[in-house]
Chain A
Amino acid sequence: MNDMTAVDKTVETQRTKIAAQNVNVYYGDSHAIKDVNVEIEDKTVTAFIGPSGCGKSTFLRCLNRMNDTIDICRVTGDILLEGEDIYAKSVDPVQLRAQVGMVFQKPNPFPKSIYDNVAYGPRIHGMAKSKSDLDDIVEKSLRRGAIWDEVKDRLHAPGTGLSGGQQQRLCIARAVATEPEVLLMDEPCSALDPIATAQVEELIDELRENYSVVIVTHSMQQAARVSQKTAFFHLGNLVEFGPTGQIFTNPEDPRTESYITGRIG
């Protein structure tokens, strides 16, 4: 246990969902993440903030082993999901990614219909017994993605024809459709305008009821608005991790204060 747990206990505490212990990540020779320890709680939005290149996206991608697709990337240390090491030999990364869903920086709907986009995950994992089952899953996911009312009349139109904000909510619905336990979001609003951003932020807040959400963001206002916990990364180190209110009003580390007040970054 590290000293940050003391701070955590002052806010309402949820069960730990993901625990990362002494995580190091190397890209070839460069050391991208240095000894990171963090505990991500269930039914909580955790924000990762920090300047560009500080390793927050890299760390996020460790949580569902997306870094496996990069040949030169090497991860050491333990990442425990519900107490089980996700880098253990017995874990199938493909199954893991169904449990730990991901939404990307740029909306990336598949060149298929809206319906097929959402049905993609359930179909792969055999989650629906019948066509009507699948229809239900699609509708439920689109409702959770807060986009059902906008697309219910054109489920078979291509997903690429939607606006940017709609596409991103479609991608969130698509990620939700496989019923993950954790939802990772890598700067989900950076390609969106303020109105679409507001919609997605509202959606993130609603998703907190069911999921543990981890969001990487460049916008400190966004982190302050949507998250309960905030982690500040700098040059591959986790500098500070604690309740969002504390990080933004009373940071312990001078580097966090410098970043939040705009002096570094």
Chain B
Amino acid sequence: MPLFWLILIVLVIAAVGYMLGRSRALANAGGDSRELHSLPSYYGWNVALKAMVPTFGLLIVWLLAQPLYVNSVISGMIPDSAIDDGSSRGLVMAEVRRAATGLDNAVAQGLMDEDFARNARADFTDVTQRLKDAGQIVTAEVTQTVLRAAQRYRIVNSTGYLIMSIAAIVVALAGTLFALRETRALFRARNVVEFGIHALLVAAASIAILTTVGIVLSLVFNTWEFFRLYPASDFFFGLNWAPSFSGRGGSSDLGVLPLLWGTFYISIVALAVAVPIGLFAAIYLSEYASPRVRSVAKPLLEILAGIPTIVYGLFALLTVGPLLLKVFGDDGLGWMQAGTAVMTAGLVMGIMLIPFVSSLSDDIINAVPQAMRDGSYGLGATQSETIRQVVIPAALPGIVGAILLAASRAIGETMIVVLGAGAAARLSLNPFEAMTTVTAKIVSQLTGDADFASPEALVAFALGMTLFVLTLGLNIIALYIVRKYREQYE
């Protein structure tokens, strides 16, 4: 039975349970809903929740556990002799799974009947041919062992799903019955539903947190793997970034410093553009602009934040780069060799960051109490004196927080760098030279066809980890500063 139908059945059981629970509670109170402890719908939800929650919990656990169980059963069937040199049990298992899927699809297309697919004596060359006819990917001739294992795999799996379906329906029915039995006029259904909602919210929050933890762990493990293949000191202190593209390590130089330098250089150029422009725009919008101008200008400015970064990248590649080249290139000052440079990417990234700085700063400047401004005006200060000496100092911690958030955006930016700054990892002070950043290199290391276990590919995780630690640090500092600021006016 497909999972979709199973879920639908459980939902139907829950819906029926809802109706039954509601009417049973009403009947118990003699039809007078004022005699009930809770509103009638709560009794319905109580039944529905008790039908659904344990069932879906069971389904999730089962779906996670079954593949593990089936894998261990099937891989026990494969004798060591069936595993070729240079191959591994994992690869053979992948082959088994592929064959099993192929059999499933062939049956679904009507090229085989179920009996044939299960036939233990089927000729494996014939099966291979039929699988190929069905358009299934078969890497080699399906061997006898693989075929037997695949057949067994299908049987164990389908039995497992059958048992799961029955168990799920039984659990759903049992939950419904249990809940219906406890439904009485004085039963505190409202509190149960309240608890259910609480649990739902906790679950949502913990999924978000656990995902973060999971991402970090996967980074940590892969980084660890990388450092076993490549010395950490060479990674952190190496001045040269020159991965060999043939794979297989040894000849690669994987020093992170040129990449970090490129990241910081481009981010600094970007912030040098974004911070003054963004801050001044925010001051104009919050202090000088009339409400009408503000109501038009602020959303327009925020549109900048909605432009996909790839579009900014195109803008850098096609407009800003050639423009800079005209001024600073060989025809002009002669400092620039090509359109892709730190300056190109930095300028465009700065434009991208303007709305981050201005929007946050604007909110923070608006949060400075009017009483502060009145106090200053009342002493005979002009508007710009008031802004410079009272409003900005009062808002400064928040503005610093906004700038740090923009900085962590800049450090994590990829597309603009790929298109605007080039791909050469270089340690140089000239902002008109091409450089590259950590993020751009993560992309290029993982999109090649390097072996996934080689240091050239694994270095991406170490780079990711480095970047993660950097931006996390910046975000923590930013949050700390913003929070400190909040306490000031409460």
Whether B374 and A97, one on each chain, are in contact in the complex, defined by CB atoms closer than 8 angstroms, is no
Residues of A within 8 A of B488 (CB): 111, 160
CA distance A124 to B369 in the complex (A): 21
Let me know if A3 is at the binding interface, CB within 8 A: no
CA distance A103 to B373 in the complex (A): 13
Q: Say whether A64 faces chain B, with CB atoms less than 8 Å apart.
A: yes
Binary flags per residue of A101-129, CB closer than 8 Å to B gives 1, else 0:
11110101111100000001100110000
Closest chain A residue to B380, Cβ basis? A98
Are B380 and A125 in contact (CB-based, < 8 A)?
yes
For the complex, is A174 an interface residue (Cβ under 8 Å from B)?
yes
B379 with A178: CB separation less than 8 A: yes
Closest 8 CB pairs of A and B: A98-B380, A102-B378, A108-B371, A97-B380, A121-B379, A108-B375, A111-B394, A124-B381
Q: Is the CB of A95 within 8 A of B380?
A: yes
Q: Are B372 and A108 in contact (CB under 8 A)?
A: yes
With known contacts A111-B488, A160-B488, A124–B378 Cβ distance under 8 A: no
A177-216 interface bits toward B, Cβ cutoff 8 Å, 1 = contact, 0 = none: 0100000000000000000000000000000000000000
Whether A94 contacts B374 in the complex (CB less than 8 A), given A110-B394, A160-B488, comes out as no
Bound CA–CA A121/B390 (angstroms): 12
A-B contact pairs, 6 of them (CB 8 A): A71-B290, A95-B380, A97-B379, A108-B371, A120-B381, A178-B380
Interface residues of B in 246-270 (CB under 8 A from A): none
B376 contacts chain A at the CB level, 8 A cutoff:
yes
A120–B382 CB distance below 8 A: no
Shortest C-beta distance, A127 to chain B (Å), equals 11
Whether, in the assembled complex, B428 has its beta carbon less than 8 Å from a beta carbon of chain A, the answer is: no
Residues of A within 8 A of B382 (CB): 94
Beyond A69-B374, A94-B380, list 13 extra A-B contacts (CB 8 Å). A64-B378, A66-B378, A97-B378, A101-B378, A104-B371, A108-B369, A108-B371, A108-B374, A110-B372, A110-B375, A110-B389, A120-B379, A121-B380
A110–B378 CB distance below 8 A: no
Interface size, B (range): 20 to 34
**Chain B CB within 8 A of A226 CB:** no
In the complex, whether A49 has a CB less than 8 A from a CB of chain B is: no
A108 neighbours in B (Cβ, 8 Å): 369, 371-372, 374-375
Tell me whether B133 is interfacial, beta carbon within 8 Å.
Answer: no
Interface residues of B in 142-182 (CB under 8 A from A): none
Contact A106 B379, CB 8 Å, known A112-B393, A160-B488: no
Question: For window 150-179 of chain A, which residues contact chain B by CB distance below 8 Å?
Answer: 160, 171, 174-175, 178
Q: Which residues of A contact B369 (CB under 8 A)?
A: 108
Q: How far, in angstroms, from A175 to B381 measured CA to CA in the complex?
A: 12
Minimum CB–CB distance from B380 to chain A (whole Å) comes to 3
For B381, B382, B385, B390, which residue has the most chain A Cβ atoms within 10 angstroms? B381
User: Which residue of B has the minimal Cβ distance to A122?
Assistant: B379
- Whether B385 and A124, one on each chain, are in contact in the complex, defined by CB atoms closer than 8 angstroms, is yes
Bound Cα distance A125, B385 (Å): 11
Least CB separation from B382: chain A residue: A94
Chain A CB count within 10 A is highest, among B369, B373, B374, for: B374
**Overall SS of chain B's interface:** helix
Whether the Cβ atoms of B378 and A104 lie closer than 8 Å is yes
B81 to chain A, nearest CB (A): 79
Q: Contacts of B378 on A, CB cut-off 8 Å?
A: 64, 66, 97, 101-104, 175
The answer to whether B377 has its CB under 8 Å from any CB of chain A is yes
A104 and B381 contacting across the interface, CB-CB below 8 Å: no
A174–B290 alpha-carbon span in the complex (Å)? 30
Among B375, B380, B394, contact of A124 (Cβ-Cβ < 8 Å): B380
The answer to whether B380 touches A106 (Cβ under 8 A) is no
Bound-state CA distance A69–B373 (Å) is: 10
Verify B375–A94 contact, CB threshold 8 A: no
Among B372, B376, B379, B390, the residue within 8 A (CB) of A101 is B379
In the assembled complex, how far is the CB of residue A37 from the closest CB belonging to chain B, in whole angstroms? 25
- Specify which chain B residues have a CB less than 8 angstroms from the CB of A112 in the assembled complex: 393
Known contacts A71-B290, A171-B375; is-contact A110 B380 (Cβ 8 Å): no
* A24, B106: Cα distance in complex, Å: 91
**Smallest CB gap from B375: residue in A:** A108
A104 interface neighbour in B374, B380, B385, B390, Cβ under 8 Å = B374
- CB-CB under 8 A for A120 and B376, given A111-B393, A111-B488: yes
- Closest Cβ–Cβ distance, residue B140 to chain A (whole Å): 75
- On whether the beta carbons of A98 and B393 are closer than 8 Å, the reply is no
Other-chain contact of A66, B371, B377, B381, B389 (Cβ < 8 Å):
B377
Instruction: Tell me the smallest distance from the CB of A250 to a CB of chain B, in Å.
Output: 36
Smallest CB–CB gap between A187 and chain B, Å? Answer: 13
CB neighbours (8 Å) of A171 from chain B are 375
- A95–B377 Cα gap in the complex (Å)? 10
Residues of the B chain whose Cβ atoms lie less than 8 Å from the Cβ of A69: 373-374, 377
> CA–CA, A121 to B385, complex, Å?
11
Query: Which partner residue on chain B sits nearest A158 by CB separation?
Result: B488
Chain B 357-395 residues near chain A, CB threshold 8 A: 369, 371-382, 385, 389-390, 393-394
The docked-state distance in angstroms from the alpha carbon of A125 to that of B373 is 17
A101 to B290, CA, bound (A): 27
Which positions 243-263 of chain A face chain B at CB distance < 8 Å? none
Complex Cα distance, B377 from A69, in Å, reads 9
CB neighbours of A94 from chain B (8 A) = 380-382
Q: What CA separation (Å) do A124 and B390 show in the bound complex?
A: 12
A102 and B377 alpha carbons, distance in the complex (Å): 9
Within 8 A of B (CB), among A48-76: 64, 66, 69, 71
Interchain CA distance A99-B379 in the complex, whole Å: 9
A97 touches B377 (CB 8 A): yes
The complex places the Cα of A209 from the Cα of B393 at a distance, in Å, of 36
Q: Is the CB of A175 within 8 A of B379?
A: yes
Chain A residue numbers with a CB within 8 Å of B380 are 94-99, 121, 124-125, 178
A110 touching B377 by the CB < 8 A rule? no
* Residues of chain B with a CB closer than 8 A to A174's CB: 375, 379
Q: CA–CA, A44 to B53, complex, Å?
A: 77
Quick one: CB contact mask for B287-328 with A, threshold 8 Å, 1 for yes? 000100000000000000000000000000000000000000
Complex alpha-carbon distance, A124 and B130, angstroms = 91
A106 and B376 in contact (CB under 8 A), knowing A111-B393, A160-B488?
Answer: no
In the complex, what distance in Å separates the CA atom of A92 from the CA atom of B71?
Answer: 86
Instruction: For residue A134, give the distance in angstroms from its CB to the closest CB of chain B.
Output: 15
Docked complex Cα distance between A121 and B376 (Å): 8
Smallest CB gap from B393: residue in A = A111
Complex interface: chain A residues within 8 A of B379 (CB): 97-98, 101, 120-121, 124, 174-175, 178
Are A66 and B375 within 8 A (Cβ)? no
A232 CA / B200 CA spacing, docked (Å): 60
